[in-house]
Chain A
Amino acid sequence: MMAKGQIWSYDMLIATVVFMLTVTLIASFWWSAASTIGEKPGERMTATGADFADVLLSPGNPYDWHERLDTANTGTWGSNVTLVGMGSGFEVPLISGDKALALIEMDETNYSELKGMFRLGYNFYVEVMEFYNCSSAGIQSSPLNCTARGIAADSEEWNSTAHYVWIGGRNFTLGVAPNSTALSASVSNRYAIYNNSLVRVRVILWNNQTWQ
């Protein structure tokens, strides 16, 4: 005759222990393998940053997209335009001033909508820098005059050769700069030509998440 209450027998105890040990081992192995061979979310962010930079330096679609929308009216953005970019064309590293200005105005109108047009799941920040010496006589007598642009003599920016490209009376930046809540970021430096000068397009994707 079977004894009552055998569910609490040693067999059950051993089976439970073996099962939980197995689950623990599998979970541990899974995490270890996933972090070793799997694609890390941070790497995905870097790849997305490179793709975003490619899109940004492309001419967009259609080619004259900046003439088909009203930068101040988000309702016109998605109807005739499938892709926005500031390149003058494919295979040439030229930035179109008109397209760049349109993007800046769209950013000022609605950053979130613009982020949606780029289909980005991260916050983005783009800054375009050009290079010259503020102390050079030629610069001081030109429209690039650093003092006229509010750069104090002998300040850090004055002594640096990297300066924001000035477009439409403002610095050439797009998006939201990483703030104190930014925990993860991916940076990509690209080079192009704007206004007959070599410029560095610094593309930053960021968010406030941490990953394994």
Chain B
Amino acid sequence: MEQPNVAIVGGIRRTLKLKGAKPPAVRKGAVLTMDALFALGLLLLSMLTILMLLTRHAPYQAPALSSASDMMNVLRTMELQDLDGNPRYPYANQVIDDRRTSPYNATVIETIIDLYMGNNTTAAAQNLSAEIIGWAVPNDYGVELLVEKSGTDCQGLNSSYSCVYNETRGASRHFVSTGRHFIYSNNVTREVRLVLYK
């Protein structure tokens, strides 16, 4: 067994012998144990640091949300006569000129649905919808305007809702917003749905 032969330790032993005390046993590996402890501590701290670094802080870019109910609220508030002489809406003015004697104080959505339900005026409903709704919706949004009437929906499927106006600007529908309104047309109260999606 190797004895400690360092001068200082020897000096201590000699001093203790002189005083009649029992020399202390040298605890082997104590320094190594401390080293291991510090090493483990450092290792764990490194793991914590790496974990924190792995938790990435990324910029937040929320998708621009468009509210269909907001748009529907505008369409059921704005009257056709409000657009009379307004240069922003040339097609609406054309419709007004053609319908001076019909419900001039109808709202825009009532006018669109009235045109759609009328004879040979489906294209007019689509043109008016495009001018008022289509232009206002952001380019990355698709638009569907449907009325409660047996026919085909905007995807060409048989449905109790018919497609009045459709603007497909992308196939995905990760975000869908729907606005609803009820219109009395042809002696029936019909639901009108505006769908914005992206």
Q: For the complex, is B34 an interface residue (Cβ under 8 Å from A)?
A: yes
A197 to B78, CA, bound (A): 8
> In whole angstroms, how far apart are the Cα atoms of A136 and B90 in the complex?
8
Cβ contact within 8 Å between A31 and B62: no
Interface readout for B55-72 with A: 1 if CB under 8 Å, 0 if not? 111111111111100110
Query: Which residues does chain A contribute within 8 Å of B136, judged by CB atoms?
Result: 131, 191, 198, 200
Docked CA distance A142–B85 (Å): 11
Q: Is B33 an interface residue (CB 8 A)?
A: yes
Chain A residues with Cβ below 8 Å from B30 are 5, 8
- Interface bracket on A: 35 or more
Known: A45-B60, A189-B64. A198 touches B87 (CB 8 A): no
Contacts of B8-49 to chain A: CB distance below 8 A: 24-25, 27, 30, 33-34, 36-37, 40-41, 44, 47-48
CB of B94, distance to nearest CB on chain A (Å): 11
Binary interface encoding of chain A residues 201-212 relative to chain B, with 1 for a CB under 8 A from any of its CBs, else 0: 010000000111
Taking CB as reference atom, which chain A residue is nearest B79?
A: A196
Q: Is the CB of B83 within 8 A of A189?
A: no
Q: How far is the CB of B176 from chain A (nearest CB, A)?
A: 15
**B1 close to A (CB within 8 Å):** no
- Whether B70 lies near A197 (C-beta < 8 A) is no
Contact B37 A93 (CB under 8 A): no
Measured in the bound complex, the distance between the Cα atoms of B25 and A3 in whole Å is: 9
Could you say which of A3, A35, A142, A191 contacts B87, with CB atoms under 8 Å apart? A142
List A contacts of B135 (CB < 8 A): 131-132, 161-162
Residue from A5, A16, A138, A187 in contact with B40 in the complex, judged by beta carbons closer than 8 Å: A16
B62 touches A190 (CB 8 A): no
Q: Is the CB–CB distance between A139 and B66 below 8 Å? A: no
Given A17-B40, A138-B90, A191-B70: A183 touches B59 (CB 8 Å cut-off): yes
Q: Which residues of B contact A210 (CB under 8 A)?
A: 57-60
Complex: chain B residue closest to A208, CB-CB: B59
Specify which of B33, B40, B73 is in contact with A191 (CB 8 Å cutoff). B73
Query: B114-157, CB under 8 A of A: which get 1 and which 0?
Result: 00000000000000000010011010000000000000000000
| Nearest chain B CB to A84 CB, angstrom units | 20
**Chain B residues with Cβ under 8 A from A185's Cβ?**
60-62
Knowing A93-B73, A93-B74, say if A41 contacts B60 (CB, 8 Å): yes
Residues of B participating in the A interface, judged by any CB pair closer than 8 Å: 24-25, 27, 30, 33-34, 36-37, 40-41, 44, 47-48, 51, 55-67, 70-71, 73-74, 77-78, 82-83, 86-90, 93, 132, 135-136, 138
Cross-chain pairs A/B with CB under 8 angstroms, 21 sampled = A5-B27, A13-B33, A16-B41, A17-B40, A27-B51, A40-B60, A93-B73, A131-B88, A138-B90, A184-B60, A186-B60, A187-B63, A187-B64, A188-B65, A190-B67, A191-B70, A193-B78, A193-B82, A196-B82, A210-B58, A212-B57
